[in-house]
Amino acid sequence: MSPTAKFAVQFTWTWPVMIVLLIIAMIPVYGPLMPPIDGTLAPVTSKITFIEQRAVDNGLVARMRYTKNRDCEIVGVAMDRHGIPIEFEPIAGSENRLTTRGTGLQVSREWFTGADKLDDIRLRFIHRCNPLWLTVTVVYP
């Protein structure tokens, strides 16, 4: 074969190829939509129940009970009231990292909530259940 030989690549536009290319092209569209859709259709955890609350300076300390339905890795927790973020973190003296738990009934450690009451708040758990997107489950209210 001579060094100047050219290779031709042939490509056939079949239906499966077109469908795969369409799915890849839709990543910017379904990427932001999938976390809440996945969390609504197949929630990682059930709705939570606050089993213990006590008032402290600048907020509450609370513990929660819930059932974990899917075995996914927890990535984060977010709390807000009407879109305004509220401080929500483990209390001092407990571990400062999130712990991924198995499925079944769960009781959380104590968490500090930077709110004086739990009315009108929204609590979300963020999990990684698959490699393409995160799953956001609204667990309260």
Q: Is residue 9 part of a domain?
A: no
pLDDT tens, residue by residue, 39-56: 888 899 999 998 888 888
Per-residue pLDDT at 66: 92
pLDDT tens, residue by residue, 99-134: 777 888 888 888 888 888 888 889 999 999 888 788
Share of the chain above pLDDT 90, in %: 9
Q: Is residue 30 part of a domain?
A: no
- Mean of all residue pLDDT scores within the chain: 82
Cα separation, 47 vs 93, in Å, equals 27
pTM comes to 0.71
What CATH number does residue 40 fall under?
2.60.40
